[in-house]
Amino acid sequence: MANRFEIITKYIPKLTEAQYGDWIIDKEKKGTKESPIQMPFVNYSDVVSEFLQDVYTCMDENEDMQLNRYGEILEKNGLLWETESMKDAEVSSLDAQCIMALITGAVRAERFCDGALLDFFQNGSMTKWLKRLKELDSQMG
């Protein structure tokens, strides 16, 4: 099954050049009952939004990897579902399931902490993980 992850690894060049997103911070409202402030959030770029859709498709197409258990997969590989641990992961020895668990964990982190995913793009982790996935894909072919 060559190029199993091409649906997301094709983003490597696009993400290298991309604007990932911008923080939207409400500076107009007063923070009163009549004028409540909207909580800050990240407005992700089109390329990141497309990437996220393809990540979910890739997860669905690879059900055998059990990515809904990404936390356990990370733990089994000596990693924590936590920014520093994930960012500092030495990917050269990780298998495709663990790399996909890192990507899944980063995507899921956004649900709990606005901007968490943005950080994984900005610090280069996402590109590093995708490059490792592409390398593994070529070895499988």
Render 90-136 in DSSP notation, one character per residue.
-GGG--HHHHHHHHHHHHHHHHHSTTHHHHHHHTTHHHHHHHHHHHH
Name the token pair of 101. 């668990």
Q: What is the arithmetic mean of pLDDT over 52-65?
A: 96
pLDDT digits (tens, 9 = 90+) for 69-93: 999 999 999 999 999 999 999 999 9
pTM: 0.91
Decide if pLDDT at 1 tops 60.
no
pLDDT of residue 39: 87
pLDDT of residue 141: 63
Please give the single-letter amino acid code of residue 99.
I
More confident residue, 138 or 73: 73
How many residues comprise the chain? 141
pLDDT of residue 30: 84
